[in-house]
Amino acid sequence: MKSPLMSYIRQMTCRSVLCIKIPPFAIDRPVRPRPDGHAPAAMTLIALNKPFGTICQFSAHESRPSLGDWVKTPGVYAAGRLDADSEGLLLLTDDGALQARIAEPRHKLVKRYWAQVDGAPGPADLKALARGVDLGDYVTRPCRAEFIEPPHALWPRTPPIRYRAAIPTTWIELAITEGKNRQVRRMTAAVGFPTLRLVRVGIGALDIFALGIAPGETIELPPRAPWDGFARIE
């Protein structure tokens, strides 16, 4: 008698090589085995809308709020970082493998940013960003770069950015697969348009507006949420 699993297995011949394809199984709460024989622990994944000025550490800071002021779930740590002057979606987990899948560039999980830049870049400037920018210590990967309208759905920043009457500002969206230290800010500065405000609005399939979390708010998610229905950009 065939096992139930075998009914999910399809066989096909690829250039005279027998291939076996097993469709993925959806698991809302993956579990990790424990060597001590106790019940396995479920992974935890938290989404935070990181407010402007918050530093990405849990230990208290003398002059700035830290993650501990917003995240009360014990044992989690940031999967990637946002610098203190950047805002938006930050994921935290208690699982090292999940943290690596989210944060490490080799996994190519796309992060989307809205950047308000100083000045008025043209199409050639966006093409330069999309091709990859030489930052001196490395060249950024090709990415998606496009103009967007001023995002009225975006919450106000406190304090607001500085405005100069004689110099316009422009909003652009960048979708990158690296997320190195201050990468977006360095990219826009390298093509002549410093970033005044930076908000991470998406990680993989997750969108901060769809999650419905205001600055300082958190929500717990299934660990597979960043990949649900998401086709990564190569």
pLDDT band at 17 (very low <50, low <70, confident <90, very high): very low
* Whether 87 contacts 216, CB under 8 Å: no
Q: Give me the pLDDT at residue 157, please.
A: 95
Per-residue confidence (pLDDT) for residue 165, from 0 to 100: 83
The tokens describing 129, both together, are 């960003």
Amino acid at 35: P
And the tokens for 223? 């660990």
The helix or strand, by DSSP H or E, that contains position 185, with its residue range, turns out to be: helix 183-190
CA distance 95 to 18: 36
The letter for the amino acid at 209 is F
Model confidence at 51, in pLDDT bands (50, 70, 90)?
very high
State pLDDT tens for residues 174-231. Answer: 999 998 889 999 999 999 999 999 999 999 999 999 999 999 999 999 989 998 755 4
Distance of CA 45 to the CA centre of its chain: 13
**Residue tagged active-site, from 36, 69, 83, 95:** 83
What is the share, in percent, of the chain residues with pLDDT greater than 70? 80
**CA atoms of 221 and 225, how far apart (whole Å):** 6
Is residue 136 classed exposed, middle or buried when 0-12, 13-18 and 19+ CB atoms within 10 A define those classes? exposed
Task: Say if residues 26 and 223 touch (Cβ distance below 8 Å).
Answer: no
CATH superfamily membership of 45-227: Pseudouridine synthase (3.30.2350.10)
Mean pLDDT of 27-50: 65
The Cα 144–Cα 202 span in angstroms is 13
Averaged pLDDT score across all residues of the chain = 85
Paired tokens of 177: 């697969």
pLDDT of residue 3: 43
* Interatomic CA distance for residues 2 and 41, integer angstroms: 32
In this predicted structure, what is the pLDDT of residue 229?
A: 58
Worst-scoring range by mean pLDDT, 41-50, 70-79, 85-94, 126-135?
41-50
Alpha carbon distance 23, 5 (integer Å): 10
Cα–Cα dist 65/70, whole Å:
9
Element (H, E) at 47: strand 45-50
Which has the closest alpha carbon to 66: 88, 80, 50, 79?
50
Dump pLDDT digits (tens) for 123-182.
999 999 999 999 999 999 999 999 999 999 999 999 999 888 889 999 999 999 998 889
Q: What is the structure's pLDDT at 52? A: 98
pLDDT of residue 41: 60
Whether 83 is catalytic is yes
pLDDT at residue 164, as a whole number: 85
Q: Is the pLDDT of residue 38 over 90?
A: no
Sign of CA dihedral 57, 158, 167, 142: positive
